[in-house]
Structure 1
Amino acid sequence: MKVIVCGAGQVGYNIARQLSGEHNDVTVIDQSPELVRRINDNLDVHGLVGFASQPDVLEAAGAADADMIIAVTFADEVNMVACQVAHSLFNVPTKIARVRAQSYLRPIWRDLFSRDHMPIDVIISPEMEVARSAKRRLEVPGAFDMIPFGDDKLRLIGVRLTDECPIVDTPLRQLTELFPDLNIVVVGIDRGGQLLVPTGDDQMLVGDEVFFVSDKDHVSRALSLFGHEEKEARRIIIVGGGNIGLFLAESMERDHPSVRIKVVELNRERAEYVAERLERSVVINGDALDSDILIEANAANTETVVAVADDDEVNILASLLAKRYGCQRAVTLINNAGYGPLLTSLGIDAVVNPRASTVSTILQHVRRGRIRAVHSLRDGVAEVIEAEALETSPLVGVPLRDVNLPAGMIIGGVLRDDSVIIPRGDTVVQVKDRVVIFALADVVKRVEKMFSVRLDFFI
């Protein structure tokens, strides 16, 4: 597949890294010679210095025979025009644009991105994606990550194992024997920064970060088994009343009306605007690093603080201060991946990374075959994929124990109509089943092929 990526910032770099690593033909355009030099030096891509929306630059990037353009520059207008030019002059089939300004995304202007006007196939709003990601972490206390699949019938859960976990040092195959009616599959273990797909003989150790797929109805019991029995937050503090904080508060008001929300926003005008938009939430104009403000927000009796301000350091410090004043849990927005290894030891319970959220959303539309959902984990080290089983798939019609799955891939769950099936050795995948797969990066391409129609099927 030939892909043009407009923008060599963090998101563009990571998209290019993942796609080029899967042997796609990738060209990256950016105005910055320094960023283009970096991407040429580190990745197997073609970097091009230029203005991404200009026809001659797109032509030089190979737009005439490109399959897709992904526009993620820092300027919304450049992203939109690049997609328009790619469509009008080069007939590029798939066009994806990142758009930050919310004025473009208001429902009243929904026709703007129709095929008759500005034919962009997928619009990505980073702020909305981050707000959704933060909300998911609020809905499963005790987990540092939660990703829904199959209309939320299945969930991927990430948990850290502590001394309170009763099943550490137990081979995974014994867990199935001890809890045969518990519908979960452990699909990944991050140990010391190395992510592995476990076998039945592997054990989980204190300090491991474990990913498991579970029937939604079994999540609470599974979390208890992993040593996490935290209650769902009934009171939360949102630090930052920007677009992310506002979207999160609006979403929580709509879907969890009994939750009491307080939003702390430093800018007075913005605080007044947020207060007008929200129905039941309390908006406090003040500095979240001020102890008096945290006392006013009643941090001592709050289960969770969600820090989503525009500054990483403010988010980290506000999270730690809120916990010091009695808040039980912290969900923290971090842009700088370099802070990642420090956060757990500092006491941050869950991290939201805007880049990872945006990359996951884009990959969902990049993957070929009958791919319904894609989520990138650990900066692209692995992906969790939901795909529809086709008649030509080697998974279909045989017991899973007889399927030769590549190393680094494991099936976490199967959705058949409205039923959830947790896979065992005798499970047989049927045509049109939706299969949730955990795959390390080097086998993702093979997963795509397993869920793509082969040409010889029609011969």
Structure 2
Amino acid sequence: MHIIIIGAGDVGRELARRLSAKQQEIVVVDRDPQKVKQLSQELDLPVITGNGANLEVLHKANISKARMLIAVTESDEINIIACMLAKTMGMKYTVARIRNPESAGDIDIDTRGLIQAQVGIDVIISPEKAVAQEIAKAIHWPEASEVEYYADGRVMLMAVYLAALAESEQQPLQDFALPAGCSVVGLMKTDGKFILPEADTMLSGGDKVYLAGRVAAVGKAGRMLHGSKTSIKRVIILGGGLIGYTLASILEGEKEHSYTVKIIEKDEKRVDELNRKLGKSIVLQGDGSDISYFNEEEIAEADVLVAATGDDRTNMVASVMGLKRGVAKVISEVTRIGYGPIYEAIGITDTINPHLITASRILKFSRGEDVLVLDLLKDEVAESMELVLPAGAEVLGKNITQAGFPKGLRVAAIVRDDEVIIPDDDITLTAGDHLIIFAVPKVCSRLGSYFVCE
């Protein structure tokens, strides 16, 4: 597929890297000559200097041949105009990153239909809102390091770190009495090696275990493997930007949980604005990286500390302070893709990267209409996705064994007629099945040969 990416920032660069690795034909457009030079040196693909909202530039990018345009510049207006122009020229799919919801009206993210009729954008992605949703999931499941939902919330993928084993240093997977309705689909060993485990695979304390299945079963299994259950009541959010505000709104609207939410924001006008917008949360003015302010606010009494100030240095300092004061769960926003290892090196393991989340949500639409959800794992060692098995697919009518799936692919769950099935090798695949797929990157580009119509 010929895809035009407008914007060579972190998101555009990540998309170009991943899509070109999947054998897609990519052209990148950016008006910053330095970014163009840097990207052209990093990746072997065409990069054009120019404004992506300009017709002449779009023609240079061979827009008549393209089937998708992805606009991810720092300017909402350029992203919207580029998509509108592309639609007038017959573009099949358009995707725009919109940071300020007011730029495109009161439109929810990842929405189709009406948006296309209104402004020519098939999919709108708000990175900040997406990050807030991810953090909310992490607060809801505090034992987990990653959580993803599929099949309208009926299937969950969860990653947890295995607690130290009491009886021995290692134990085979088959010896863990996991609840019915879930299975282990992936394993990141403490030495960094990632595998799709078998029944006799040995597990050690500190391994990162990926579970998939029914929500209740996965939650129970996660708590069992993690070795503890964390009760979350008090949440402190550092930063009252769009991430902090959206997160507080989500937590205020939780029906199953009652959270006490406190936001610390350094801008006085923003504090007043948030106090008007939010009904239950407490909003205070202060500098989240100031040590004396931390003591004053008794951060140690918080169950969760969220650092979402928009600045990596401030987020790091605040997160380290929270960890030293014994906060049970510290979650930090990572504003630059390359900073992830730095956070991990100083002990901050629960991180959320807006660029990777945005790239993940956009990548889904490059897969085709049968892929409903696609997620990149935090360690980038595998992808998980939900797809609908179409009539005429190569594997239709075959069982798991007969399908001949490659070694790096696992069908984690099947949703059929509202029933969640943890498949064995003998289950037959039928048209309309919602398949939850767990696969390593080297086999992801070959999925079409199994799940796409002949």
| CA-CA distance at 1:195 after TM superposition | 3.0
Deviation at 1:16, TM superposition (A): 0.9
How far off is 1:182 after superposition? 5.3
One-letter code aligned to 1:67: R
- 1:153 maps to 2:172: no
Q: How much has 1:44 moved relative to structure 2?
A: 3.2
Structure 2 distance, partners of 1:87, 1:22, is 25
- Gapped regions of structure 1 (runs ≥ 5): 455-459
SS of alignment partner, residue 63 of structure 1: coil
2:94 corresponds in structure 1 to: 95
Mapped partners of 1:146, 1:203: distance in 2: 24
- The answer for the alignment partner of 1:144 in structure 2 is 145
Match of residue 82 from structure 1: 82
> 1:111: Cα distance to partner?
12
Give the TM-score normalised by the residue count of structure 1.
0.91
Within 5 A, what are the aligned runs for 1:103-182? 103-107=102-106, 114-163=115-164, 169-175=170-176, 178-179=177-178, 181=180
CA shift digits 1:195-236 (9 cap, x unpaired): 333333322233332222131011332123312423241111
Residues 131-157 of structure 1: per-residue CA shift (max 9 Å, x gap): 111111111111111011111111111
Q: What is the identity, as a one-letter code, of the residue corresponding to 1:444?
A: C
Using the alignment, how far apart are the partners of 2:192 and 2:21 within structure 1?
20
3-state SS of paired residue (2:38): helix
Shift of the 339–230 alpha-carbon distance from structure 1 to 2, 3 Å rule, reads farther
Could you say if the C-alpha distance between residues 49 and 113 of structure 1 is closer, same or farther in structure 2, counting changes exceeding 3 Å? farther
Paired residue for 1:280?
280
List runs of 5+ in structure 2 lacking aligned partners: none
Give the letter for the 1:23 counterpart. Answer: Q
Q: Is 2:112–2:122's contact at 8 Å kept on the other side of the alignment?
A: no
* Stretch deviating more after TM superposition (396-405 or 427-436): 396-405
Partner of 1:22: 22
1:18-48 Cα deviation digits (max 9, x unpaired): 1111111110111122222222222232111
Q: 1:95 to 1:114 in 2, by over 3 A?
A: same
Does the CA contact (< 8 Å) of 1:368 and 1:448 recur in 2?
no
Q: Which amino acid aligns with 2:67?
A: D
The TM-score, its normalising length taken from structure 2, stands at 0.92
Q: 1:390 to 1:102 in 2, by over 3 A?
A: closer
Q: Deviation of residue 165 (structure 1)? A: 7.6
What residue in structure 1 maps to residue 217 of structure 2? 218
**Count of residues in correspondence between the two structures:** 451
Match of 1:201 in 2: 200
2:52 corresponds to which residue? 52
Overall identity of the aligned pairs, in %: 30
Q: 2 CA distance for matches of 1:402 and 1:450? A: 12
SS in 2 for 1:226: helix
Query: Does residue 227 of the first structure (1) align with residue 226 of the second (2)?
Result: yes
Partner of 1:457: none
* SS of match in other structure, 1:446: coil
Distance of aligned partners of 1:391 and 1:168 in 2 relative to their CA distance in 1, 3 Å threshold: farther
Calculate the aligned-residue CA RMSD, in Å: 2.5
CA distance in 1, matches of 2:433, 2:439: 18
Contact 2:181 2:421 in 1 (8 A): no
Q: Is the contact between residue 390 and residue 431 of structure 1 (CA under 8 Å) also seen in structure 2?
A: yes
